[in-house]
Amino acid sequence: MNEPVEQANSTLKECMSKLSAETLGWISAILMHAATIPSLLALMTGLSDNPPSLDIILFVWTGLFLLFCRALVLKDILNIATIGIGFIAQAVLMALILFK
């Protein structure tokens, strides 16, 4: 009688740990993309004359690239799409600033 309950409990624990790990991965990718967006938007609107420092951008993009490679290895289409769209959005913002 206890065996089905224990099996259901272990399955639930396994699913929750995977869900938590996936959620943390999504939050980290979104926060890394969002790290440079405010300063880029302030630069585009003229609120600031200071672009984000190059070292911050390089660290963020390196981290995102590593997360992208991880998603490719795991064949995680959702993370590949999310990080890819973020790369495209940041590249468009930087191109708008550069060619303004």
Model pLDDT for residues 34-85, shown as the tens digit of each residue: 887 788 788 888 888 887 777 887 888 888 888 888 889 988 888 889 889 8
Number of H helices, E strands in the chain: 4, 0
Q: Which amino acid is at 40?
A: L
| Residues in Cβ contact with 11 at an 8 Å cutoff, skipping those fewer than 6 apart | none
CA distances from 55 to 39, 52, 58 (A): 14, 9, 5
What does pTM read for this prediction?
Answer: 0.60
Of the candidates 84, 93, 32, the one whose C-alpha atom is nearest the C-alpha of residue 57 is: 32
Asked whether the predicted pLDDT for residue 17 surpasses 70, the reply is no
